[in-house]
Amino acid sequence: MLAIFKREVKSFFSSPIGYLVIGFFLLLSGLFLWVFKGPFNLLEYGFADLSNFFRLAPWVLLFLIPAIAMRSFSEERKLGTLELLFIKPLNLWQTVGGKFFGILVLVLLALLPTLLYAYAISELGTTTGNLDIGLVWGSYFGLLFLVSAYIAISLFSSALTENQIVAFMTALLLCFAFYYGFEAISTVFSDGNLVLFIQDLGMKKHFESVASGVLDTRDLIYFLSLTLAFLFLTVFRLKTIDR
């Protein structure tokens, strides 16, 4: 798995992909948070916290992660190099795991500079240093789980087809469905218990719960289960590919 992981990370930074991903994420989040007027602007928000960033990040990553992961298996199939992975002394779980952690590291590197936002907000507050650091770390922790689920879904989508555009669109739709789709469907119903049940099926409610600083084991189990389920589906799909 380590060999696949190193190859993935090296491929990201031996080409413009890694730098473009990090630059695009920071540029887009920076513009929405500090420049563009609107619901995400931190300077207009009136409160010294990063809640606007953690409302924006899932939507930016919803597009960004499928774009990164779409080539993971689609390109291998198109170039005919997927068979080379199968004949290496690695099982499919190690191959999928190596690609998963390679993408995860790239996304974490993109998120790392955003810690400067926390420092800036802390300094800009009416009382310097009044930022709730515990809440910030809890929100980053929730974002880590959300990112992991996005990556697993995107890898599964990439394993479905050798067309990268189809893989991207499939991952985008699945990530959107699991993040916001259940939330949207719940608005159709009026029964409170049914609404809560449907919302519990989606990632948005669980992410917001963790991001609010509440570390509920139900939220953690949800994200771990969803991530492992799609990694399992990815492995199963790879096993069924004719080779």
Q: What is the mean pLDDT of residues 178-195?
A: 89
Burial class (CB in 10 A: 0-12, 13-18, 19+), 93: middle
Do residues 140 and 111 touch, judged by C-beta distance below 8 A? yes
- Give the pLDDT band (50/70/90) at residue 174: very high
Q: How many domains does the chain have?
A: 1
Under the banding of pLDDT at 50, 70 and 90, the label for residue 71 is: confident
- For the ranges 2-11, 210-219, 228-237, the maximum mean pLDDT occurs at 228-237
Q: How much of the chain exceeds pLDDT 70, in percent?
A: 88
Query: Does residue 226 surpass a pLDDT of 90?
Result: yes
**141 contacts: CB under 8 Å, gap ≥ 6:** 210, 215
Q: What is the band of 177 on the pLDDT scale with cuts at 50, 70, 90?
A: very high
- Which residue, among 175, 149, 178, 155, has the nearest Cα to 167 in the 3D structure? 155
Round the average pLDDT of the chain to a whole number and report it.
85
HSE of 56, CA atoms in CB hemisphere, 13 A: 22
Q: pLDDT tens, 75-131? A: 777 766 666 666 666 678 888 999 999 999 999 999 999 888 888 777 765 565 566
SS (H, E, C) 97-142: HHHHHHHHHHHHHHHHHHHHHHHHHHHHCCCCCCCCHHHHHHHHHH
* Domain, as residue range, for 150: 1-242
- pLDDT tens per residue across span 8-24: 888 888 878 788 888 98
Query: Residue 51's closest CA among 128, 144, 167, 140?
Result: 140
pLDDT digits (tens, 9 = 90+) for 127-138: 655 666 777 888
Range from 53-62, 113-122, 173-182 carrying the lowest mean pLDDT: 113-122
Could you tell me the pTM of the whole model? 0.90
pLDDT at position 46 is: 64
- Amino acid identity of 168? F
Confidence (pLDDT) at 86: 63
Report the alpha-carbon distance of residue 180 to residue 185 in Å, rounded: 9
Rounded mean pLDDT, 47-72: 87
